[in-house]
A and B are shown apart, each in its own frame.
Chain A
Amino acid sequence: MRVALRNITKRFGTTLALENISLEVGDGELLALVGPSGCGKTTILRLIAGFETPDAGDILFNDQSVLGVPPERRGVGLVFQNYALFPHMNVFQNVAYGLKFVTSPLAPPLKGEGVGGRSCVQELLDLVGLKGLEHRMPAELSAGQQQRVALARALAPNPKVLLLDEPLSALDAKLRERLRLEIKKIQRSLKITTLYVTHDQEEALAVADRVAVMSVAHIEQIGPPQEVYHAPATEFVARFIGRGNLVTGQIVGRDGESLVISVGGKMIRARSAYGKLRQSVTVLVRPERIHINQPAENILMGTIRGIEFAGDTLWVHVEAAGTTLIAKANALDTTLHEGDIVQVGFATSDISLVPSDQRSPPTPSQEPSQR
């Protein structure tokens, strides 16, 4: 099942929630929709599920418009952040609920023995690792178990599209990392077209085939995780995805395939085919590409202003060229101390030029990934 949004616009009252959005999710693909809260990503999901109607544009399932189709006939599976497990039904009843509405022979329940098949529910509970909990009530389950029930329930009627709205945000960090892998595994094995809404860019990168990054009402970039990470299309994406050093500078010359950019009075070289003389540009260097006290194409002198210890990693804050750069260093490196004057270096090929944003979206609130 391919899902496509064509030029969707949606307003709530006077606020513009989505402006001319187009998006396509391929058959069996997992697309993560990531963006700060309030950017409209949940609205996209609700439009696909059929709970909202677009003011303009079309929504297509396999090239067929579903605009007139009510939610219960769209064949989508839905998992909410709070799971919305029916509190008055036990686990089995929750998972089996969707099966009682499967009447069409064209959409048989997942490997079931017919409508409301017990074995289908059992299989699903096996799949999500909840065997033996059929008779528990939702309130008696841990958050992680509830999440699995919600997933099993959404999958039970064999939906053509799976919509996950912040499915893991209510869980603690460790569980979240484990479950996102499981979700991906299940999604792969069922080959179900999936839209995964999250505000956590790390989760999006980890789980998705492709990532769509949203700012308010707009999609900034769609692409594979690597592309979004390494070649952000906009400054917004660059800021939102991953930890990065964004530095503004001015193009002062060209040297073969490289541009010469002045940053805080220091010259650095970046590989780029574009760029006009005296143009202001934003330069992105990922922390892991910055090497301290090692030979490199570009070298800046700086002072260590702070060191964060993060287990296997040290995050080193270096003041250089009038700005603060964050560098990732090996935790075993004991030579670095606060106040040390160091060389920070990076390769010309590790610098990306980020087009300055035409619009000026509000600076995305980099929400902490642990909540």
Chain B
Amino acid sequence: MGQARRPGTVGSVRPFGRAFTLTPRPSPLRGRGVGGEGLLLLFPLLFLVIFFYAPLAHLLREGLTKDGIFSLEFIRRILTDDYFQHVILFTLWQAFLSTLASIALGLPLAYILTHYDFPLKRVIRALTIVPFVLPAITVALGFALLFGRNGYLNQFLMSLFGLSEPPLPIMYSLTGIVLAHAFYNAPIITRTVHAAWERLDPRYEESARALGASRFYVFKDVTLPMILPGLLSGAALVFIFCFLSFPIVLSVGGGRFSTIEVEVYTRVVTRLDPQFLNYKIGAALALIGLVLSLMMTYIYLRMQGSLARQAEHVRPRPTVPLFAGVRDFLRPTKLLLWLYMLFSLLVFVGPMLAIVADSLWEDTPTGGRWTLRWYSYIFTPDYEALLGDSPLRAILNSLSFGLGATAIAVPLGLIFAYVIARLRWGGRRLFDTLLMAPLATSSIVLAFALLRAFNAPPFRLVGTATAVIIAHAVIIFPFIVRALVPVLENLDMKIVEMARSLGASRWRALREIELPLVATGLIAGAVFAFALSLGEMSATLMLARPGLNTMPVAVYRFLSQHSLGAPSAMSVVMIVVSALAFVVLERLGERALKL
């Protein structure tokens, strides 16, 4: 992290000496550090309680009551019904497979990023995270365009081999779900493993090789165990996201698969009966899901903890050029690498390219032609009944909601991260886990809880931009916390003590020493959070009214229209905006976004 890059604030000792040593300014709250920090914590906690815990508890409570009194009946009904057992097991199973697939796809990329040098490496590394922030609807669209029975890939293979039936039944199957989840989450594995691997001293591996271990054994015995905390923490996070995944299971899975979240959605949202039986079962199921994902969050945070302990400062690992002549190009290990890259290009870049191609294509009775009309359509400020406003408005809304949500989430995340990093209390990890609960709650449950809360006094906010902004802030702030905690933990407290010994108040030390030092981490978290907000759909769809569309919502709307070009064009805009955000982030010098 950019230590002491701002000599004016950090490096120079003079202001402290002058202002504080010579003319000490008594502060009424000096020496009451803990109490002061406690007070500061009050507002973010209040915000979370009002806009997250209380609505969520209100929803989940339904699953634990019968006729107004506490009852485990619905929980018991779920756990004893073999259909729900099937759903719960399938949820875990598909999350497990998806995590494996994400590792299989993400690990080699982490290896390539760690060991090789190639043109535009920084930009490519920045762009690897883009899939993660895309809305599910865009991913589903890209997958359908590329992998559908009549998609580009199957069409290509059919014409290549003269087949009459599509050879790759990827869509509408578990394979499709797993692949789409891998598309989403492999970047997380890549990021976390890359970060751990880069910090791994190459001399461990060299020692093993000198002892006679082949590359395979070196990886198995030395590298893997040592990057394992990074891998496991990434895997735990991926598992949580796949466990909670909802639109992908529905759209890519083709409606034949049900997970806990799908079941909660249909019971709580779409299958209301006057007796509220489905509602209560759905709430109970949501509770079971939340408990499971919170357990995984706890594991994730533990892994993060051991990762932080293991962190060593070493010289950057040496890299070698990826492209080193023709003979090297044809080496068997390199051939394997090219094969992997081809496959990952297909899975990562393919769906996005398919969307781009589709956004530039127009079907005509005689075939089709290239066109820019979809772009001119989405950039017009004309009213569109489908959206209740102009498509351009949706783009602007996305940006302003994203900024608003980030503006709330940054102070929120900063304060929580600070407290977690400084907390030496035994229940710290539990507190951390509870704070991360929004991350462990599916956006559909969260959105529905907020819909209910915002539809009743005192916060009648349904349909307002505020509701959307609050929902986004709740969803994205955990990522800011996660980006900041490691930075704050690695911050040498001696620097702060030094500042204080020079006469700076606790506050001044915080503002002038700690904050500038974590600035890059903060920016990284903020940009990432902003991009996540751009991609959020479930909650926005539920809370926003026409005229308050965002880009993903507009994509969703356009998809229900006959013309396919508009949703693709809107998706391309979204991909470009988030890609730009990450490239700018990379330029700012922040590359190790902690997750």
Contacts and interface: CB of A to CB of B under 8 A. Distances in A.
Contacts of B225: 86, 88
B209 A72 contact: yes
Interface string A130-173: 00000000000000000000000110110100010000000000
A185 interface: no
A186 to B, nearest CB: 18
B210 A76 contact: yes
Size bracket, chain A contacts:
20 to 34
B226 A84 contact: no
B212 A72 contact: yes
A84 B203 contact: yes
Given A88-B225, A88-B226, A101 B206 contact: no
Interface in B292-350: 310
Nearest to A80: B203
B213 A80 contact: no
Interface string B203-246: 11011111111100100011001100000000000000000000
A287 B212 CA distance: 48
B204 A84 contact: yes
A158 to B, nearest CB: 10
Contacts, number: 70
Contacts of B221: 86, 97
Interface string A172-206: 00000000000000000000000000000000000
Contacts of B489: none
B204 A153 contact: no
A78 B208 CA distance: 9
Nearest to B214: A72
Contacts of A73: 212
Interface string A67-98: 00011111111101010101110000000011
A86 B200 CA distance: 11
A102 interface: yes
Nearest to B203: A84
A73 B210 CA distance: 8
A51 interface: yes
Given A84-B201, A97-B221, A101-B217, A78 B210 contact: yes
B206 A84 contact: yes
Contacts of B217: 101
A314 interface: no
A71 B203 contact: no
A87 B206 contact: no
A97 B208 contact: yes
Contacts of B204: 84, 86
Contacts of A33: none
A84 B206 CA distance: 9
B211 A82 contact: no
Contact of A78 (B207, B214, B222, B226): B207
A170 to B, nearest CB: 13
Given A98-B212, A157-B211, A71 B201 contact: no
A97 B537 CA distance: 52
Nearest to A73: B212
A87 B212 CA distance: 19
A44 to B, nearest CB: 15
A82 B209 CA distance: 16
Interface in B23-55: none
A163 to B, nearest CB: 8
A101 B212 CA distance: 6
Contact of B206 (A78, A88, A156, A157): A78
| B208, B222, B225, B310, most chain A CB atoms within 10 A | B208
Contacts of B213: 72, 97-98, 101
A17 interface: no
Interface in A209-234: none
Interface string B72-103: 00000000000000000000000000000000
Contacts of A159: 210
Given A88-B225, A101-B217, A82 B210 contact: no
Interface string A288-311: 000000000000000000000000
Nearest to A103: B212
A212 B214 CA distance: 32
Contacts of B208: 86, 97
A246 interface: no
Nearest to B207: A84
A161 to B, nearest CB: 10
A160 to B, nearest CB: 12
Given A82-B201, A86-B222, A157 B207 contact: no
12 contacts: A51-B206, A51-B209, A71-B210, A75-B212, A78-B206, A78-B207, A86-B208, A97-B211, A98-B211, A98-B213, A101-B217, A154-B210
Interface of B: 201, 203-204, 206-214, 217, 221-222, 225-226, 310
Given A76-B210, A97-B208, A97-B221, 4 more contacts: A72-B213, A80-B206, A84-B203, A98-B213
The 5 closest A-B pairs by CB, nearest first: A98-B211, A101-B212, A78-B210, A84-B203, A71-B209
